[in-house]
Structure 1
């Protein structure tokens, strides 16, 4: 396990990995595609609190959640909160083909001062800034699955927390290794802040803490296969998601919007 003072050498603006965990040349190619912006100083960030707060919208079946200060260590999300603090039910589905929900673990402190001391002096997390959109995706080598079972439903979840869907964001994706999958470049360009594979973050989080300033997840029932009575894509009418998705795709690829006839 790398010592905390060595973590800077592990992530100089792009993700790297501890030696001998994976082939270095292969990993270098991967890391160049998945940039990660983080605060390199002694835990300085824009949020006034280090406690995790959660906002959720939608029914439990179809829920999306926005997490502020969501932590990640040893391949697991972690909510840090104070005893007596109300938190909504925050289980969500991150994948159209996985029926069971994702629920971050929870660590409860007796007081906020105890929580703050733990964060600032014990774990000293690396901060992943701005908005991160998290989802799982199978078969992303197929552009149909990549767009409408992965990217589109995740974007619908993002639309639920405006105006973040109009701003640059990072994508954290639970996807399989795929050499030459050009859909990954589409993911990266669509968000604007790059693509981070969860498998890479998992390797970096062994014994090391990260903190997402803002992370949104909960897109499992917005996929193309989740047929609606009106035969539209989920959220396409009530959230205007189809048009917003199309317009952002054009914009991020430098294509002019089609003329309405």
Structure 2
């Protein structure tokens, strides 16, 4: 049975069943009577563990971490832990164009009993269920940057914590306001559980606590712009990320998957390559590209 809650957007009352469908708007409030919905439920007595747990993969310069029970209040991610508990070293870059790691706040408690009292009686957090994938993305009005400098890099981080990349997940996106940016719809469809804009969550979290069931962040240098020496997409081969990203994009948008070649290309097969023009190419760049194309086209293996 699906439970519904009521939200008020300005002076219009609307009915919905998922927070991910409404958080795209900065002008809404959730009524106090809405807490019966599972998606927006507060922490209940059936929860056994409220302490933040962290699992990290990869070297510090290219690290991804899975957080269980990570809290969010006043625009800040917050770790709640018990004094003496092991917290792995982490250095998380969530934005391909930001060279500095994200800063997380931390609160330590003398015992789990004190932590539980703090969570249940003081913070009373609103739960954000299932898996959330977090990343920041400038210039998301440009679909090239939106896909391969933001979404792809974050998806590689998700693949590291298999099999979560095969199931629906929510996207928490650090993006700016943009009227008519259809990349946001691509993000939402790709994840399957919708998109939360961080700037909206920041407004909601003023004096209000939230808790993520699971949230993954840390896309490091997995972006297309982060050029590798072999000119391949990061994670494209070793994690099969290129194929997984392509297949999920097709699937979530209702397209038929591309046909897989039954065999590897041989020396007798014709390889077609396309060079896409760029406004930043100089005349010398174009000349060198054309010379290379002519050399390849006229090459004979004799």
Report the TM-score when normalising by structure 2. 0.75
Are residues 1:249 and 2:249 paired?
yes
| Secondary structure in structure 2 of the residue aligned to 1:254 | coil
CA root-mean-square deviation: 2.2
Tell me the SS of whatever aligns to 2:195: strand
Q: Distance in 1 between matches of 2:249 and 2:45?
A: 30
**What SS class does the counterpart of residue 27 from structure 1 fall into?**
coil
User: After superposition, where does 1:225-240 map in structure 2 within 5 Å?
Assistant: 225-240=225-240
Whole-angstrom CA distance in 2 between matches of 1:46 and 1:258: 45
Superposed displacement of residue 14, structure 1: 3.9
Higher-Rg member (1/2)? 2
C-alpha spacing 1:102/1:88, structure 2 compared with 1 (3 Å): same
1:13-162 correspondence to structure 2 within 5 Å = 13-14=18-19, 27=27, 39-44=39-44, 48-162=48-162
Offset, 1:27: 3.1
> After the TM superposition, which residues 142-221 of structure 1 pair with which residues of structure 2 at under 5 Å, given as runs?
142-221=142-221
Give the SS at the match of 1:134: strand
Secondary structure at 1:66 match in 2 = strand
How many residues end up aligned between the 2 structures?
239
Q: Is contact 1:38–1:128 with CA below 8 Å preserved after alignment?
A: no
1:45 Cα deviation from its structure 2 partner: 8.3
1:160/1:47 Cα in 2 relative to 1: closer, same or farther (>3 Å)?
farther
| 1:54/1:65 contact within 8 Å kept | yes
Alpha carbons of structure 1 residues 99 and 240: separation in structure 2 relative to 1, 3 Å: same
- Asked if 1 retains the 8 angstrom alpha-carbon contact of 2:68 and 2:214, the reply is yes
8 Å Cα contact 1:90-1:103 kept in structure 2:
no
Q: Relative to structure 2, which stretch is displaced further, 106-115 or 84-93?
A: 84-93
How many angstroms does 1:225 deviate by? Answer: 1.1
Task: For residue 74 of structure 1, report the CA deviation from its aligned partner.
Answer: 0.3
Query: How many Å apart are 1:90 and its aligned residue?
Result: 2.4
CA distances 1:147-183 after superposition (whole Å, capped 9, x unpaired): 0000000000000000000000000000010001000
For 2:110 and 2:26, the matched residues in 1 are separated by 45
Q: Is the 8 A contact 2:132 2:215 kept in 1?
A: yes
In structure 1, the residue corresponding to 2:27 is in which secondary structure?
helix
Structure of greater relative contact order (alpha carbons < 8 Å, 6+ residues apart)? 1
Partner SS, residue 100 of structure 2: coil
